Structure 1
């Protein structure tokens, strides 16, 4: 008879392993779902143009951190409530002082922003706060908020009576270098406007307590019936986008560095700020020079203004004009620079400098080089014109100038191919040196045997056979002119070649 074998029975049946496995998987899925699920927040905006449920994203520093789940009108029908699902990694940033706003494309005369939304569509962005209080309901902003106080750089404020053409994002310049931006502006209770300006960290040392700020944007018209009108236009960039300029006078560069949130006055221009580089000009006469009105101009741009005129205690009783020069034109203060006064000129050949009949005389200059210099003697006549047109220069020797002058044409078959650029009396006073500029496409017409002759005025020959009257064009009779011919085939000539000028 076989013995019975006793076997120990399992307490847990293998059948139970399957439910336990399913329970573990379910628990893991629950944890994963909680871990991967977003945080639902509600944001109230005044409008939701361009925002769509399921499409619009929440972007933070270029990375998607959420998406819009729903967009509905609020209960009072005065705005919209947007429900957003934020990534759980943003939990620490969803606090009471966190700010949300909508980024849309904006194209205007003042600025171009949000161009990336032209392809991707509008999106919501945010600036995370520093509060320790968690929050899930927010009021959205209509515009991006100003930079926070913790933004690196120097934060200063500018007080002004008018906004000019300034706006958020307008640049602050120093010596034509952008050193900061207008961050925000607001209307104060006293009616003035306060601008918040952020100076970049690397330029903060330029701003001292003695620094002055002035407007460099838009177009201004000042003056009266007695003194005339002054129209000031800055660069095209500042005309469109607005801009400020700042500078520190040499005598104030040792003042203490500007403090954070220090308030400065914003002046309407550099002259009003009484900031500029001082220089002086000695003139034979102050005729037509009016303090506060006569400007220093260069190719249509204002470079300075005459502040005062004083009579010198010398034998000729000359005058000295004190000028405040725009800091951007400082490079003209070189020993070989030349200055002269531009006044209206009326003659048989026409009216020159017509604009001065309205605006008055002005001072202009030719930029030189050399050592720095801030006192100059004004030239008695305009300097030779600087020509931007390419060509070659030649010189003529003449007994007299006739009706020739600067700008007189060089004619070939009644076609203007050049002009007179300078007239100088020789050292001995026996002849006159006439400098010509022949335009580049006509240089090949000048050969070694070319003969130049003066066609100014007219020539009358009388004899028993009758009278012979020879004239060129009416313009050359009045304004003067030179023509030439080339007999045969001459060789090529180098620039600067000297030719005789025949009387006709």
Structure 2
């Protein structure tokens, strides 16, 4: 029997080898993964920065939809919108493109563009279709930054606009808002951009912009004043009505210029600050910096006198009223009959052709005190009858008694005289006193008796006149009848003289016949002169034609 099992000696042992080579199947996923990782790294390495923008509200802002643009070019997109922890606003996180990194500086401005309607115009209408977006106004000032506070409204002036940035300060009771115009001679040359209120100084500061080339009008002597609406002032000079342009009448606005009499000054080339005055007069008077103060002790009524009223010398304004009823007078003396109301006035050296410095102040003070010794007196006069406004008038009077120089609360006193109104009142009072002294009752009784006597006399006179009229009628009738008879007789005699057959008639006929015969004798001569006008001077040798003439003496000689 055959044994078929292999022997152990003839059996072969299998060798096992490990295969460490990567299969070609994994090449594609690895390449794809590598590309993906590279793209992720490239995107991460080249993506723009994240920035945070603070807004008051998120109205119109949506994550992954709201774009960030500058000059209508997209430079970023909103990624996230979150509330601030104190709920005072929202924080918008946006991803910017790498190319916008250089635009993100501390002075850069962000605001939301959406439709806006205001008195300055309509803006943002393009967002009705595309939706609101955030715009960036880049700036080269400041350091790189990633946190910003958005503007509530877009700036009035775009960055890079040629012109001059200025600050206008005001402590008056009027205010302006963004977009209000700055006017120069009726032209809009600039706008208010924004405002800030200084609590410590209690003044409002406005950032404003003057466009080129009008910014060359701004000098260090330029004054700004309010030109809003319509202003009406009742002053000593009368009623003054002032208006600006139509735009400033509807909104607010200021204008500027160099007051008359001031030099142009130096051109302003960089940011500067100016004050806003309530009107042109206030701006113009600001150039008069120094003044000499005097006190007037007025015993007349001061009704119609106001602070700021002019002080004039012979019609020339040299100062103004500073204060009425100065504090310091004894209160117990107020109702005393001779109580004088102290009025503080200021005489300004610049208005008297003197330098606006201490030397000018001393010169004006000496001249005024010397004038008081020579009869300089102050009086209140009516500047306008309609308004009743008063002003202080300084004049030299020759017939006044000299008064010693006096002081009141440390101020030199200028003596006063009664004003025009007081003098008129005194004259009217005197006339009324004279009228009151007339005995009207006695005069009335005497007038009544006189009228009764006159009535009796009038009746008697009327009867006499009637009798006289009747007598005159009779006399006139008789005289008229006699004249008519005499005229008729004269006419009859005249007609008889010229009747046919009378002597006068015959003489008249004879005279007419003789006149006719004379004309017939002159007929040849007239014919000769008609044919030869010079025949009376030069004889032509021809004998005149003879024509027999008939002459009748009277009708019986025919």
TM-score by length of 1: 0.45
TM-score by length of 2: 0.41
Structure label with greater radius of gyration? 2
